[in-house]
Amino acid sequence: MNMLARYSLLLFTLFVSGFSLGFAPAIADELPEDTNKIESLTPEQAQKLAREFPGMKVDIEVKGAGVLSKFGLPLSGLKSLDAETAKELAGYGKALLVLNGLTKLDAAAAKSLAEFKRKAFLDGLTTLDADTAKALTLFEGEGLSLTGLTTLDAETAKALAEFKGEVALPEKVLQVFFAENPLTPETALAWAVVSRGNLSHVTALDSPNSVAIAQALATRKGPLSLPNLKKISPKTLSALIEKEDVEIPLIETLELIPEPDGSPNDDFVIPEWLEKQQHQKPVNRARG
């Protein structure tokens, strides 16, 4: 092998070795090694991050599961995000994308970010309008974390209802939302989405429009649980269990009430799938 060939081989070997060491050597002259110190990104830099950053452990708090560690790209120092840069970041392939430094996000950037296929943390957002929420519902990933919101209006919640994954929201905001937006056929899906499918505070479906409410809840894509349900009419119950993965208390513990709209009660027979799920014999209820 001649001298030129040896020199070329040496350069190639050094290049491959440096690349295999990870992200920092590749862009040390462009961005800090600690990605949380990045305050702004160009689309080109975002593309490089998405392609080359090897991921680092990020501790996240998951309701009911404590603190979990997952690999991801933490960018909590990023102050703003335009649509083009968001599109490049959406190509990142690890489990998490952490953008907790963003205090606002427009619909165009949200639409681009929605192409990310895992889980995104946007806990720095304090407000969210309906247009941006609608764009985020196109998100193809596992879930959205929006625990920094201080308010949630009905239109924004209605837009979020189209999201197929889980949305994490702060408990105080949820309490205000539920108080200001009673459960109706129009708000039922929003209730299910913002509560992450856990309607533990619903103890009765006994309003005149309860059948329509149950029909709306049954269209929820994803988990739905009413663990503290106590009172429900036969028609409302029949509408609710159209969603075969809904979780409700044992039928024998429920008080089957007359139809709230005044219509006659139908006989209610527990479907075979629900009987199997609840491990009890079919129970017939006579007309009221």
Range with the poorest average pLDDT among 93-97, 101-105, 109-113, 275-279: 275-279
**How many CB atoms are located within 10 Å of the residue 124 CB?**
19
Q: Say yes or no to pLDDT of 8 above 60.
A: no
Class of domain 33-181: alpha beta
| Mean pLDDT of all residues belonging to the chain | 83
Distance CA 85, CA 21 (A): 25
Q: Phi and psi at residue 155, in whole multiples of 5°?
A: -65, -40
- Of the spans 8-12, 218-222, 237-241, which averages the highest pLDDT? 237-241
Tell me the pLDDT tens digit for each residue of 28-47.
346 888 999 999 999 999 99
| Bridging pattern class, strands 204-205 and 166-168 | unpaired
Location of each CATH 3.80.10.10 domain in the chain: 33-181
**Backbone angle region of 112, left / alpha / beta, with phi > 0 → left and psi within -120 to 50 → alpha:** alpha
Tell whether pTM > 0.95. no
Q: Say yes or no to pLDDT of 175 above 50.
A: yes
